[in-house]
């Protein structure tokens, strides 16, 4: 499974990940690019490797480290960066989807349970494409 990071600010993702203490994960080859593409009447995120071929979420040979992916992403042509979730290279990474837990105006967590979860985990968080 792949979790996608969408950003208009090319340096924001790196700063956020470094601030969260993820330097070791940034160096591991579990990162991909993605493009938002139409498949029929649905929009979907399609993963790509740094060699511009499609990446496979179950094939580590198609992944790279964050810095190589960021370098290609900064040149344009891609919608964002993705990280491969799961147990690879000595790091178990999971994704949590906490919908409708933030104040739409301030971005602050409003649900006590969600705040507890976020506080206990070494985590990186972002708003989804849907804004929830």
CA distance 91 to 131: 28
Average pLDDT, the chain: 83
CA distance 58 to 75: 26
Per-residue pLDDT, averaged over 4-28, amounts to 75
In the predicted structure, residue 23 carries a pLDDT above the cut 60: yes
CB 16 within 8 A of CB 72: no
Collapsing DSSP to helix, strand or coil, 23 comes out as helix
42 vs 109: which has the higher pLDDT: 42
Interval 93-120: pLDDT, tens: 887 778 888 877 777 788 888 888 878 8
């Amino acid at each position: 499974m792949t979790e996608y990071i969408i950003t208009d600010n090319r340096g924001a993702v790196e700063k956020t990940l470094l601030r969260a203490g993820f330097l070791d994960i940034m160096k591991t080859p579990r990162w991909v690019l993605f493009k938002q593409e139409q498949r029929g009447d649905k929009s979907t995120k399609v993963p790509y490797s740094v060699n511009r071929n499609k990446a496979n979420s179950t094939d580590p040979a198609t992944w790279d480290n964050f810095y190589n992916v960021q370098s290609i992403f900064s040149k344009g042509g891609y919608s964002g960066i993705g990280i491969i979730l799961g147990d690879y290279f000595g790091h178990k990474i999971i994704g949590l989807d906490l919908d409708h837990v933030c104040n739409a105006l301030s971005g602050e967590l409003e649900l006590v349970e969600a705040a507890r979860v976020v506080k206990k985990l070494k985590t990186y968080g972002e708003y989804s494409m849907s804004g929830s």
